[in-house]
Amino acid sequence: MPVTAAQPGSVPVTAAQPSSVPVEERATLREEVVERERRRFGGFKFGSAFFGWLTATGTGVILTALLAAAGTALGLGVTDGQTDLDESETTTIGIVGAIALVVVLLVAYFCGGYVAGRMARFDGVKQGLAVWLWAVIIAIVVAVIGAIAGSQFNILANLDSFPRIPIDEGALTVTGIITAVVLAGASLVGALLGGAAGMRFHRRVDRAGLGR
């Protein structure tokens, strides 16, 4: 151990040693509490996701009806006696309709994911995914029932206000398939973002109640 030079008649003094100790990183009380709760109550909550799907469906119906009413008020789709549209007009109407449907589904499933995330409190992204899975499962069930029992039992097709893929199910084209994939992606992204937003509300509540 190094020592300082001693003066005559004095006691040798030991050199000062570094006394800094690395600060141990540990979770705060809030983080520990939230983690314990998440382990106990986290994961997929398909009950909450079902209500999120109902919210997404209702929101989609309302937004579609509002868009249809706005289109009628603005005179969109009125052909002034024309029975046929040229190719450019048909393409424009198809593009505008597809964009409008993407926006409707994005907003509707954001609302659905938000409701599921708020209800479940944890794992908001998983709740949003569960909302989207409910939509896929129910669409498949309805399609199977319609194929077996007849088109009159295709509930989604008979519901005029419901946002549907703007293609004829009997004649799928490349454009129709691409549109379907884009719409599915938009609804999935909306549900995931909504679920994360709904969960963040509870994290803000935790910070207010438990501190940092």
Q: What would the pLDDT profile of 105-147 be if each residue is shown by its tens digit?
A: 999 999 999 999 999 988 889 999 999 999 989 888 887 887 8
Q: Residue 23: is its pLDDT beyond 60?
A: no
Q: Residue 149: is its pLDDT beyond 90?
A: no
Tens digits of per-residue pLDDT, 83-105?
454 455 445 556 777 788 889 99
The closest of 106, 125, 108, 127 to 116, measured between CA atoms, is 127
Q: pTM for the full model? A: 0.70
Measured on CA atoms in the order 179, 181, 184, 186, is the torsion positive or negative? negative
Residue of 175 and 206 predicted with greater confidence: 206
How far does Cα 189 stand from its chain's mean position?
5
Give pLDDT, residue 191: 94
Give pLDDT, residue 116: 95
166 within 8 A of 179, measured Cβ to Cβ: yes
Strand (E) or helix (H) holding 70: helix 46-73
Give pLDDT, residue 10: 56
Tens digits of per-residue pLDDT, 44-75?
899 999 999 999 999 998 998 888 887 666 55
Q: What is the mean pLDDT of the chain?
A: 74
Tens digits of per-residue pLDDT, 24-39?
556 676 777 777 777 8
Residue of 9 and 53 predicted with greater confidence: 53
Give pLDDT, residue 52: 95
Give pLDDT, residue 42: 76
Residue keyed to tokens 């919210």: 55
Task: Return the domain boundaries, the chain.
Answer: 45-78+85-210
Average pLDDT over residues 153-171: 52
Residue keyed to tokens 């008020």: 73
Q: Residue 195: is its pLDDT beyond 90?
A: yes
Measured distance CA(200)–CA(118) in Å, rounded: 8
